[in-house]
């Protein structure tokens, strides 16, 4: 049975939550391996709509074990808020496992995230303000606080003190903020210890044993390839590894255990926050895509920037992730257009680039080279087979498959669980 990675092939919000949820009933474990509550996944089940941030989408499938891996950063307050909100809606959350090595987001890192953004001024990243960047920085700086630290008050206090020795200098002297109080922060974190204890596990061991036992595992990425700290549009990225490589470090499994890598990709492109975006539409068409696609952030409510499908990004994502399949989402949003442009290459200062320019400045200057495809007018939200799609929609999908370099195994035609056309089974 397979271990399947589901990740974002663009700048996030491709519909990963829906894609993961859809596999849910046939999956034994859904594992989040990167990011934190900067993610926002909308899953629609019948008349119910769920917005998940920190929790893996597998939490909505009875019988599936949701796992928060060591590569995730955990805001404990958000964790319990989300768990309580789901419980009150009748969702059984008792199966959740959390890695003892996952880092926690202390309140001072939320403060630092917001003040550093403010100080960056025009160079700001447009972060979600959830303390993600500072917490990953602490991890690399070896002053982070892990879930396992919550269970020994003395050690926890020492670690908080260690972190604040540096950070209070920065908060007070650079940002003119109040110093964080060591006792108060320790008490704040300690207050969650007993509640979180039953969920804590050696998740790497659990997952490897599950793989040995032939279980089906889905590794669900937060964020996306173009927001990956190594492979994305640095510095306009998040601070974790959202690409396939992140699965191994963020969940504690070896690369030989992964069978499939599925890239979720929208039939157009969106981005939240700052940074380059070659196919961005700043006109009425951009507004049309935003309105029709409901492109407003699940986490911060910000309007998403919108643009046409970018095959250069799709090919790049195929390369850095080793994609085996694409799930194309939101094809229905493109219904009703005379022509649908697709970016097949870039023009950078008069030179054609078929591949992602390695130089970041070149990417900032990239002008899309478009091919125009014929649109379709028929409502496609009821289509459940490829053949039911209008012929121009079929041609659009086949053209994207051709220019993207990875087969399109499923096509989203609406937000509902059922509104998907499956061409190849992702778990086969």
Q: Which residues are catalytic?
A: 13, 41, 139
Q: Minimal CA–CA distance to 364: which of 345, 348, 341?
A: 348
With contacts defined by CB under 6 A, name the span among 33-41, 250-258, 339-347, 367-375 that binds ligand GDP: 33-41
Residues forming a β-bridge with 316: none
* Residues binding ligand GDP: number (CB under 6 A): 23
Distance CA 358, CA 38 (A): 27
The pattern of x and - marking residues 93 through 132 that bind ligand IMO according to CB under 6 A reads --------------------------------xxxx-x-x
Question: 34 vs 329, which CB is nearer to ligand GDP?
Answer: 329
SS3 of the chain: helix, strand, coil, percent, to 5? 40, 20, 40
Q: Where are the beta strands (DSSP E) in 360-402?
A: 367-374
Binding mask 32-51 for ligand IMO (x = CB under 6 A): ------xxxx----------
58 binds ligand GDP (CB under 6 A): no
Choice from 222, 246, 341, 412 touching ligand IMO (CB under 6 A) = 222
Q: Is the peptide bond before 394 cis (omega within 30 degrees of 0)?
A: no
Measured CA distances, 207 to 4, 97, 215, 317, 428 (Å): 13, 11, 9, 26, 20
Stated length of the chain:
428
Any contact of residue 135 with ligand IMO (CB under 6 A)? Answer: no
CB-based contact 65:34 (threshold 8 Å):
no
Note the helical H segments in 367-422: 391-404
413 sits near ligand GDP (criterion: CB under 6 A): yes
Nearest to 69 by CA among 246, 237, 332: 246
Cβ proximity to ligand IMO: between 43 and 76 the closer is 43
Select 107 or 335, whichever has its Cβ closest to ligand GDP. Answer: 335
Task: Find the binding residues for ligand IMO in span 271-300 (CB under 6 A).
Answer: 272-273
Q: Which residue stretch of 186-194, 247-255, 279-287, 330-338 sits at the interface with ligand GDP (rule: CB under 6 A)?
A: 330-338
Task: Give residues in contact with ligand GDP (CB under 6 A).
Answer: 8, 12-18, 39-42, 44, 294, 298, 329-330, 332-333, 412-415
């Amino acid at each position: 049975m397979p271990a399947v990675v589901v990740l974002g092939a663009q700048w996030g919000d491709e519909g990963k939550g829906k894609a993961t949820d859809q596999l849910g009933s046939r999956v034994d474990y859904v594992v989040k391996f990167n990011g934190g509550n900067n993610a926002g996944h909308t899953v629609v089940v019948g008349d119910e709509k769920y917005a998940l941030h920190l929790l893996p989408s597998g939490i909505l499938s009875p019988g599936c074990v949701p796992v928060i891996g060591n590569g995730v950063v955990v805001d404990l307050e958000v964790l319990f808020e989300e768990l309580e909100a789901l419980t009150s809606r009748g969702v059984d959350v008792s199966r959740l496992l959390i890695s003892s090595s996952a880092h926690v987001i202390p309140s001072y890192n939320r403060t630092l995230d917001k003040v550093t953004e403010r100080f960056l001024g025009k160079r700001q990243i447009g972060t979600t303000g959830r303390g993600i960047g500072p917490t990953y920085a602490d991890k690399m700086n070896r002053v982070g606080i892990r879930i396992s630290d919550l269970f020994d008050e003395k050690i926890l206090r020492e670690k908080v003190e260690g972190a604040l020795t540096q950070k209070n200098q920065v908060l007070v002297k650079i940002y003119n903020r109040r110093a964080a109080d060591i006792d108060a922060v320790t008490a704040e974190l300690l207050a969650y210890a007993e509640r979180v204890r039953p969920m804590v596990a050696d998740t790497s061991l659990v997952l490897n044993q599950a793989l040995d036992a032939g279980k089906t595992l889905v590794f669900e990425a937060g964020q996306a390839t173009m927001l990956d700290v190594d492979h994305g549009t640095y510095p306009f990225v998040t601070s974790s590894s959202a690409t396939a490589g992140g699965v191994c470090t963020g969940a504690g499994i070896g690369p030989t255990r992964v069978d499939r890598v599925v890239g979720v990709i929208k039939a157009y492109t969106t981005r939240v926050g700052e940074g380059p975006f070659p196919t961005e539409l700043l006109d009425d068409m951009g507004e049309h895509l935003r309105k029709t696609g409901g492109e407003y952030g699940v986490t911060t409510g910000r309007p998403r920037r919108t643009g046409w499908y970018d095959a250069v990004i799709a090919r790049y994502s195929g390369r850095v992730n080793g994609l085996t399949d694409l799930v194309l989402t939101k094809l229905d949003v493109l219904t009703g257009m005379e022509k649908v442009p697709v970016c097949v290459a870039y023009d950078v200062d008069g030179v054609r680039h078929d591949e992602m320019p390695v130089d970041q400045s070149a990417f900032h200057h990239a002008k899309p080279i478009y091919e125009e495809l014929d649109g379709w007018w028929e409502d496609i939200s009821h289509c459940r087979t490829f053949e039911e799609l209008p012929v121009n929609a079929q041609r659009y999908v086949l053209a994207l498959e051709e220019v993207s370099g990875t087969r399109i195994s499923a096509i989203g035609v609406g937000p509902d669980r059922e509104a998907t056309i499956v061409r190849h089974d992702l778990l086969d």
